[in-house]
Structure 1
Amino acid sequence: MTDPSRRLRVRALLDAYFPILFGAAILLAFVFGFWLFQVYAVEEVRTEQRTFVQWSESTELEHSALIVNESVPFEAGQRVEDRPIYYTTISDALDITYRYEHTAGAELDVSTDIFLRVRSVSGDDVFWEVTEPRASTGSESVSAGENHTAEASVNIAELRRTIAEIQSQLGTEGSIEIAIVATTSIDGIVDGQAVNRTHGSLLRLAVSQTSFRVTDTETIDEEYTSTDTVETTQDASLLEMLASLLAFSGSLTVLGTLAFARLRGYIELSGEEAELLEVYQQEQEFSEWITTGTFPSERDYEATIVVDDLKGLVDVAIDTNKRVIKDEQLRVSTVLDDDYVYLYIRPDSSASEWLFNQADMTMEELD
């Protein structure tokens, strides 16, 4: 006997486990429906910590020199700005412009002092230091975006004479460090909080016999921040929207298919189908007693007995110590004894009517 169709076995499984499968389909439809509702109807609210810049302040140092002596590259009276080098033969002073500004939503009182600092250093050791005031602005009210400005000038010849005088008195130990230092004091109220601080900016200067140059500047650029907790709504991603929709639709399809198939009787097996499935299972169980063969076209025995099921035919084979011969084409199984032909005819046998008509006797007639 051949294996019954896979669809028949699947239907048998569906019929046996239908309550479990139907309940699982309802549960999945509910779960995926809730997911779909959450994705499309409920906005996801997230809490985040965000840092905001409340206000900032910055300083700037610019330098320039006035050309006092005519030369081929430069004209007398010309002002050169932010040059990498200045020449003592055509300029005798370095001019500095210092600027401070802030972005606070309030007016701040700002004052600046500029002084020249000359000292001799060796590593972290300071051998001597001299400071000379160069400019002072006094206190002035500065609003956001306004510039607080201070200007100063350093005469290079005088600076060199001062250094030479000190070295003649103290010696030449250490390296000479020259800096123009701007100190700014800020006072006021910003966002209800008192602000009282001092900032220092500086410009380093190197001087030789024939030139002077700015080697470095240090300025400030400060930001004052605050952290707030904010709530934001997050839209679902396209992938999540599609996945939830497909999952819910799929669960409804499975649920509807199961209900439709049950109501129309597509799942429950008929009596003949149930018998065919049982025959298949019995054939697997008693396969060692069954041999495939061909049913004879003419009867060579005196009597034919039709048994009701395959298990009964196998019992006959065991009792008579014979093999069960299975005809795949006719869908008939037989045991050939000395006196009788024992037949089991499957419900789907194409020769069922002929075989029953040709049988000499049935089991009932033997009784």
Structure 2
Amino acid sequence: MPTDDATTSQRLRLRIASNVAAVTAVCLLLAAVGGFVAAQTFTGPDTTTEQRTVATWTTDGELRHGAVVQRDTRAFDAGAVLRNRSVYFSSVTPTLNGSYVFRHSGDAEPATVRTDLRLVVRAVEVGEGESVLWRVSERVASERTTSLSPGDEFAVPYEFNVTAQSELAERVRRELGSSRGEVQVRLVADTAVSTTVAGEEFAGDRTAALEVTPRGDSYAVSATTAGQRREPVTERVAVPVEPDPVARYGGLLAALVGLVGAGLVAYLDRAGRLDVDPETRAAMELARDRDSFAEWISTGRVPPAGDDRVVTVDSLAGLVDVAIDSERRVVEDTDSGTFVVLDGGTRYEFRPDDGGGDVLGPVDGHGGGTETAPSDGGRPADDPLAGDGEEPPSADE
């Protein structure tokens, strides 16, 4: 039985011949997709628009602070300047001074800047959130400029006596009759700025604060600023679109391959070039069926029919159905190539070399088998064991 005689070419031809419509459809779909992709690269717009930054404007603010030592000590000489320290000593540096500095840079025109400095004395109670119990505020400085060029600094100086502000807080506490809360002295800098950048007007506000916390013989200082801010100026500009060579030429190639493939399949089908001779087709289909039902098939040598009644089944699939229903195995006889199921006194056979019917053809019941008289050692038709006028058992029984 030539179950493995088919070449790779014959297998491929059989697959294509069995699925001509599907293969042609896939080729045409490939051609359509490739043509569409290639057409998009040829007919698409030559330019596209993008947002580009054409100018930038950056602003920044800083609170500088320091104190001058009022008298000589072993640690500091009188007149020494202490700058940007986190803690100052009240007895030798009672007065805090410094400046709020604003600067801007970038592609801006000269800016208009106004800065107001306020001194706020307050008592706060810290819990889940900061609660202000009372406050006293006064303006200490205010300056304005209309011509601050990019890269320049605008500085507003300040000076206040921390000890005097602490005494003010104590007077307020006595007036209120309560010492609740922590006393804070805050220098607040409010800045308004406006300018023009690349023809576009910008305006904004900034706030910075210097926190001063008296602690008896010293006071702690910390600065809080908004940090550096960057304002971009953008505009929509047209930029050329570079065609994707992979999409363009890959699409053309896919379209060409799809069209040639569809035409070639149609030509080979009409010319009969896909035909496989029936014997080879049967062998390939049997091999495929044999692989599908391998778990139900064993190989060996099967004895002659003898007195068994023989039922010939038209396909291996039908014989496997018989084996499943009768809880038997299919035995492939290595000498004759016949597939056999032995069920009591009945012998079910599938002979691939008989040429009787399609190997994968439709089956009836347990394979649509038909009973034939045994050619060698079988029971004659008038055998009394066959019963009075009864037909031999079929695959359905």
Can you give the 5+ residue segments of structure 2 that lack an aligned partner in the other structure? 286-311, 319-332, 337-353, 357-371, 377-397
2:143 to 137, 143, 146: 137
Q: Deviations over 1:62-92 (max 9, x none)?
A: 1111223333443333322211211123323
SS in 1 for 2:211: strand
* 8 Å CA contact retained: 2:62, 2:102: yes
Count of aligned positions: 301
In structure 2, the partner of 1:154 is 160
SS in 2 for 1:127: strand
After superposition, the Cα gap between the structure-2 partners of 1:324 and 1:63, relative to the gap in structure 1 and judged at 3 Å, is farther
CA apart distance, 1:60: 1.2
1:178 aligns with 2:181: no
1:285 aligns with 2:285: no
In structure 1, the partner of 2:215 is 208
CA apart distance, 1:93: 1.4
In structure 2, the partner of 1:359 is none
Whichever residue aligns with residue 30 of structure 1, its letter is A
* CA distance in structure 2 between the partners assigned to 1:204 and 1:236 by the alignment: 60
* CA distance in structure 1 between the partners assigned to 2:38 and 2:87 by the alignment: 72
* CA distance in structure 1 between the partners assigned to 2:11 and 2:205 by the alignment: 89
CA apart distance, 1:206: 1.3
Whichever residue aligns with residue 127 of structure 1, its letter is W
Aligned counterparts, 1:199-278, within 5 A: 199-219=206-226, 221-224=228-231, 267-269=274-276, 273-274=277-278
Computed over aligned residues only, the root mean square deviation of the Cα atoms, in angstroms, reads 5.4
CA apart distance, 1:194: 5.4
CA apart distance, 1:205: 0.6
SS in 1 for 2:144: coil
* 8 Å CA contact retained: 1:120, 1:129: no
In structure 1, the partner of 2:111 is 108
CA apart distance, 1:150: 0.9
After superposition, the Cα gap between the structure-2 partners of 1:35 and 1:6, relative to the gap in structure 1 and judged at 3 Å, is farther
CA apart distance, 1:276: 7.0
Whichever residue aligns with residue 144 of structure 2, its letter is G
* CA distance in structure 2 between the partners assigned to 1:206 and 1:279 by the alignment: 99
Aligned counterparts, 1:113-128, within 5 A: 113-121=116-124, 124-128=131-135
Whichever residue aligns with residue 84 of structure 2, its letter is D
TM-score, length-scaled by structure 2: 0.54
SS in 2 for 1:139: strand
* CA distance in structure 2 between the partners assigned to 1:285 and 1:11 by the alignment: 25
Can you give the 5+ residue segments of structure 1 that lack an aligned partner in the other structure? 294-308, 312-320, 326-367
* 8 Å CA contact retained: 1:61, 1:219: no
CA apart distance, 1:136: 2.7
Q: Deviations over 1:34-67 (max 9, x none)?
A: 3773798788988777899853433211111122
In structure 2, the partner of 1:355 is none
* CA distance in structure 1 between the partners assigned to 2:17 and 2:135 by the alignment: 103
* CA distance in structure 2 between the partners assigned to 1:286 and 1:199 by the alignment: 91
* CA distance in structure 2 between the partners assigned to 1:212 and 1:185 by the alignment: 30
In structure 2, the partner of 1:304 is none
TM-score, length-scaled by structure 1: 0.58
Q: Identity over aligned residues, as a percent?
A: 21
* CA distance in structure 2 between the partners assigned to 1:268 and 1:217 by the alignment: 88
* CA distance in structure 2 between the partners assigned to 1:224 and 1:216 by the alignment: 24
